[in-house]
Amino acid sequence: MTERFNGSFTQQEPIPEAGIEAAIAVMRHGRLHRYNTAAGEHSETALLEQEFAASVGSQYCLAVASGGYAMATALRAVGVTPGDTVLSNAFTLAPVPGAIASLGAIPVFVGVTESLTIDLDDLEAKLGEARVLLLSHMRGHICDMDRLMAMCDAAGVTVIEDCAHTMGAAWNGTPSGRHGAIGCYSCQTYKHVNAGEGGFLVTDDPHLAAKAVMLSGSYMLYERHLAAPPKEAFDDIKYHIPNISGRMDNLRAAILRPQVADLATQCRRWNDRYYALEEGLRDTPGLTVIERPDEETIVGSSFQFLLLDWAASAVRDVVAKCAARGVELKWFGAAEPVAFTSRYDSWRYAPSKPMAASDRVLAGIVDLRVPLTFSLDDCALIARIIRDEVSRAHNRGMA
Ligand SMILES: *Cc1c(COP(=O)(O)O)cnc(C)c1O
């Protein structure tokens, strides 16, 4: 019997009832803009920022319109200007080089290892090429942050973390987003909390926080924040920082607050599913599972494996055979970017030189989403289907 999976790889869970109720209350009172508050009222957005800051242990938090906006704001706040170069990952998604390009700055791509993290040797070699690193914890894989921070600190390179896939994750007990100067997160539907769109920026630096608040479009209403620095931090900058509106609104904040409160539980549920997939795929001939270091606290909201050194036609065949059985795999090696999948040489606005070792890894990366609507049995079934198709293709190759 040929098994088939009938679930959807893009179906999220519903918004928690508490979030729906809170959103309806916001719509009923009509004060959707974050600075539109009744006397004595704190806006949903201000409360969300306070709660998210507490969850990662940061001094300051700013909620904004998207993860991409959070990254662009972080880059502006640390002083990136047009023509500057910014180091970033070759293995990431389009909003990351896009955030750099939105400032008229130029990405300098750093390679990827077989652990799917940034190649720290390549980074070390390129540290002299920029003052800022926009580090993407792509698909939740966290590099040796101790080594990375020591290298960047020594070279005077400011680190901004893209935590779109690591909200709730940690390295050596420190939450992802809390190693660098600024951490950026996304609240877009496919990330770890779902407001459709949205983002956060966290930092302990009052100067960076004040700049980010003003950049996001606070006008002179920055005192209505609960997770921003005191008003003195704005004295020197308030006439100098342009307003580039990208605020969060109270409707999304209302939807997000219960999700931030539930995040640890959701992360455990993701990991149960991740480890079910891992167990089902381990020791499949020809397939490499990504070993996760002990220092890493993961959030398994997606799963990757490598078909290293496979012929492109054989990988395409596995992807097609799995698709025919209801299992949607994404292949980073495809020549043309498909759906959300892309790679450094598909961003033609950003110059890049070929990186042979990274190209070998990228050509082997196969990726799948793990929505929480999957049961553990679904994950075991998906793993059986992949194992079956990979084994067959591998045996054909061997024959
Ligand atoms: C989703 C994503 C972001 C931020 O995306 P937005 O859609 O702008 O919220 C940043 N980096 C990566 C790697 C992402 O996947």
CA dihedral 64, 68, 71, 75 (to 10 degrees): -110
Tell me, yes or no, whether 358 and 247 share the same domain. Answer: no
Q: Does residue 363 belong to any structural domain of this protein? A: yes
Centroid of chain to Cα 386: 25
Q: Does residue 65 belong to any structural domain of this protein? A: yes
Q: Which of 220, 240, 261 is the last residue of a domain?
A: 261
Q: What is the mean pLDDT of residues 127-156?
A: 98
Q: pLDDT tens-digit profile of 204-259? A: 999 999 999 999 999 999 999 999 999 999 999 999 999 999 999 999 999 999 99
**Ligand 1 atom with minimal separation from the 66 CA:** 9
Asked if 200 and 227 touch (Cβ cutoff 8 Å), the reply is no
CA 315 to ligand 1 centroid distance, Å? 26
Q: Which residues contact 292 (CB under 8 A, 6 or more apart)?
A: 141, 298
Which of 188, 190, 304, 347 has the most ligand 1 atoms within 8 A of CB, as the residue to mutate? 188
Structural domain count, the chain: 2
Tell me, yes or no, whether 359 and 374 share the same domain. Answer: yes
The pLDDT of residue 137 is 98
**Ligand 1 atom with minimal separation from the 139 CA:** 13
Which of 118, 167, 184, 191 has the most ligand 1 atoms within 8 A of CB, as the residue to mutate? 191
Q: What is the mean pLDDT of residues 361-374?
A: 96
CA 94 to ligand 1 centroid distance, Å? 8
Tell me, yes or no, whether 183 and 49 share the same domain. Answer: yes
Tell me, yes or no, whether 311 and 197 share the same domain. Answer: no
Strand-pair partners of 297: 170
- Give SS3 for 275: helix
**Consecutive H or E run containing 150:** helix 145-155
Above pLDDT 90, what percent of the chain?
93
- Say if residue 340's pLDDT is above 70: no
Burial of residue 366 (number of CB atoms within 10 Å: 0-12, 13-18, 19+): buried
Which of 93, 134, 141, 252 has the most ligand 1 atoms within 8 A of CB, as the residue to mutate? 93
Least confident of 32-36, 167-171, 332-336: 332-336
Q: Helical H runs in 282-398?
A: 312-324, 356-362, 376-398
CA–CA distance, 142 with 297 (Å, rounded to integer): 9
- Say if residue 267's pLDDT is above 90: yes
State the CB neighbour count (10 A cutoff) for residue 102: 16
Question: Does the global pTM surpass 0.85?
Answer: yes
Smallest CA separation from ligand 1 atom 6, residue: 67
Q: Which of 234, 261, 288 is the last residue of a domain?
A: 261
Q: How many C-alpha atoms does 174 have within 13 Å on its Cβ side? A: 13
State the CB neighbour count (10 A cutoff) for residue 296: 22
The pLDDT of residue 343 is 80
The pLDDT of residue 351 is 87
CA 139 to ligand 1 centroid distance, Å? 10
Q: Does residue 306 belong to any structural domain of this protein? A: yes
Tell me, yes or no, whether 322 and 206 share the same domain. Answer: no
**Ligand 1 atom with minimal separation from the 137 CA:** 13
Q: pLDDT tens-digit profile of 279-336? A: 999 999 999 999 999 999 999 999 999 999 999 999 999 999 999 999 999 998 877 7
CA–CA distance, 339 with 315 (Å, rounded to integer): 17
CA 95 to ligand 1 centroid distance, Å? 6
Tell me, yes or no, whether 218 and 287 share the same domain. Answer: no
Note down the domain range covering 55. 17-261
Asked if 180 and 209 touch (Cβ cutoff 8 Å), the reply is no
Asked if 52 and 64 touch (Cβ cutoff 8 Å), the reply is no
